[in-house]
A and B are shown apart, each in its own frame.
Chain A
Amino acid sequence: MTKAITKEALTGLVAELTAAGVRVIAPAKAADGGTDYRAIFTLADAILGGEMPRRSLRAVFQPPTEAVFGWERKGTGIELTPAAAASQPQVVLGARPCDAAGVNVLDKVMGWDYKDDMWFARREATTIISLACAEMAPTCFCDKIGLSADATVGADVLLRPAGEGYTAEALTAKGEAFVSGHARWFSDEPVTADPAPPSREAFPLDKIEEWLEGHFEDALWADLGLRCLGCGACTSICPTCHCFDIVDETDGTAAGTRRRNWDTCQTGLFTVHTSGHNPRADQASRCRQRILHKFEIYPKRFEAVLCTGCGRCVQACPAGVIVPEILDSIAQRANGGAA
């Protein structure tokens, strides 16, 4: 189902949603001038199609820090209070297609075997309306990961720029329900979307996976390890990185909170055993882990690469560790060429 929506209608839609108690999250200016996904109250606050939000959409479904439960000592017992699962309906407006795709990729690890309730409570309460990118930044490489500037993966509704307004394509049952539930803002008038930027040839991801499988030891890792500072910036802004830590917080009294906090495989403490033995004792092995997890481990287990080509890590890395460059050089090696 494809309809059209004008900017004015979108303004009205946002007003209607917020008035009804629906949280609307969109790329918007943060206090320091950068762009982040934030709650907005009027469309004027959203920056649709502007610069890439600094942090990915992951935080909307799994905040960097969140309480899992509270506990309180009662005599010799402990009383647990589970954190309330988020149920307030929310709409993400203007999600980057690479970010919507990232959420879809993470559904796999969050949903296999044991289901992550907190993740899926938020997933169910959220409608994702993504917006096709009118242009690609030099750091973007979603097309080379097999997505595109107008990829539909993970989105419930995809808006495409169309002159002064947008086309609106409902992609899922949730998306159709959303569009028909707010039908008065959408029109059936045929509108043609502006052409999306063309896609380049994708990396040979199967070949890269195969190469990685056979090259746990390779000079490439030492090279990356020498450059990488182990700061973890790349993993903290990534839409698909999902490592976390579990910690207790207490003020030393009879009560406290167990929290889940984002973590990163890029620090030495991540894997160190209590004995001091560390299976990943150097930065080379930690860089290798990030690349392996994204392009071999995850694809093997979940049939999806753990990268959507958003390019954030390229922008964030203070040391010039550049994933598309790494993939290029692996592809060359996989093809038997010198890198």
Chain B
Amino acid sequence: MTIAEAVDETPDTRTFRLTFQDPAVAETFAFEAGQFGEYSAFGAGESTFCIASPSTRRGYVECTFKKAGKVTTALSDLNAGDTIGFRGPYGNNFPLDKMEGANLVFVAGGIGLAPVRSVIWTVLDEREKYGDVTIVYGARSVSDLVYKRELEEWAGRADVKLWQTVDPGGETPDWKGEIGFVPTIVEKAAPSADNAFAILCGPPIMIKFTLPVLQKLGFQDSRVYTTLENRMKCGIGKCGRCNIGPVYVCKDGPVFSAEEIARLPQEF
């Protein structure tokens, strides 16, 4: 695919908009929110990222990645006009069909907003199908917030309730959002669990502490969804790397309900 646009989100995080080089694929390529792909920087290798753009917008895919190691560093060095490899879409997706008519609560931490953003835009593109939309998004510091332009756009929308927060100490003098960890802010935002689903992505520690808050607010585990990010290579149920007990995260996931996760061996 061709990098049509490269945006620096934070000092170490970038978003690529990728367009298809093969017109036939551009025409037919479709995916669902929550699915992932394998992205190549030729010479360095492949990396797994969620598809961060909404399934309602065709003809391109977006990914947002953090510079962390070999492949992500090589990818960071690429720019608009360069070619990168893409395999996908792989994995299952967030069950948006089940969520029609319901209120939605999105909770994301750091780069965990990438998969959630795919769902948020998919929902906003078909806004009339869903009830209230509440978003709680937190990052370590103001400079670690990704998708800053979109956060502004959501903040300005009457049909979205957005809570932004940074960890204590991560604020700047002109920061107008919350200060505190994501689970605390979810508690403060206190979205109603009535006819609601929660979608939750972020570092394992955030997930761990947010789940009990959602439970306290009355969310059933079967209506809370998150993604697992076990290390992957093939993405298609062959290489054996992503197993958790009898589950292949690359095929059976990456999206799981909290109920499903509670039944899994704790190996993630």
Contacts and interface: CB of A to CB of B under 8 A. Distances in A.
Given A273-B229, A273-B231, A248 B246 contact: no
A292 B243 CA distance: 10
Contacts of A244: 233-234, 238-240
Interface stretch (A33-41, A196-204, A264-272, A321-329): A264-272
B24 interface: no
A112 to B, nearest CB: 7
Interface in A257-298: 258, 263, 265, 270-275, 277, 279-280, 285, 289, 292-293, 296-297
A161 B230 CA distance: 49
B237 A109 contact: yes
Contacts of A243: 239-241
B156 interface: no
Contacts of A112: 237
A248 B42 CA distance: 7
A296 B245 CA distance: 8
Nearest to A276: B68
B190 interface: no
Interface in A2-29: none
Interface in B223-249: 229-231, 233-234, 236-241, 243-246, 248
Interface stretch (B43-51, B98-106, B124-132): B43-51
Interface stretch (B77-85, B142-150, B159-167, B172-180): B77-85
A245 interface: yes
Contact of B83 (A77, A116, A216, A296): A77
A174 interface: no
B245 A297 contact: yes
Given A274-B69, A280-B267, A73 B42 contact: yes
Contacts of A245: 233, 239
A301 interface: yes
B123 to A, nearest CB: 29
A243 B68 CA distance: 24
Nearest to B234: A246
Contacts of A73: 42
28 contacts: A73-B42, A76-B82, A77-B21, A78-B42, A78-B83, A78-B85, A109-B238, A114-B236, A116-B238, A216-B245, A243-B240, A244-B233, A248-B40, A250-B42, A258-B40, A265-B240, A271-B231, A271-B241, A277-B204, A279-B230, A279-B244, A279-B267, A280-B267, A292-B245, A296-B246, A297-B243, A297-B246, A301-B248
B268 A246 contact: no
A244 to B, nearest CB: 5
A247 interface: yes
Interface in A108-137: 109-110, 112-114, 116
Contacts of A300: 246
Contacts of A285: 267
Contacts of B237: 109, 112-114
A244 B241 CA distance: 8
A22 B21 CA distance: 41
A240 to B, nearest CB: 11
A293 B238 contact: no
Interface of A: 71, 73, 76-78, 109-110, 112-114, 116, 216, 242-248, 250, 252, 256, 258, 263, 265, 270-275, 277, 279-280, 285, 289, 292-293, 296-297, 300-301
A16 to B, nearest CB: 37
Contacts of B21: 77
Given A246-B239, A280-B267, A275 B203 contact: yes
Contact of B231 (A114, A246, A272): A272
B42 A270 contact: no
A247 B243 CA distance: 20
Residue in B69, B72, B230, B238 whose Cβ sees the most chain A Cβ within 10 Å: B238
B265 interface: yes
B155 to A, nearest CB: 29
B233 A246 contact: yes
B184 to A, nearest CB: 22
Given A244-B233, A246-B46, A271-B230, A216 B265 contact: yes
A78 B248 CA distance: 31
Interface in B27-70: 40, 42-46, 68-69
B105 to A, nearest CB: 25
A238 to B, nearest CB: 12
Given A273-B230, A300-B246, 10 more contacts: A76-B82, A76-B83, A114-B237, A248-B43, A263-B233, A270-B241, A271-B230, A274-B68, A289-B243, A292-B245
Nearest to B74: A248
Given A78-B85, A271-B231, A246 B45 contact: yes
B251 interface: yes
A249 to B, nearest CB: 9
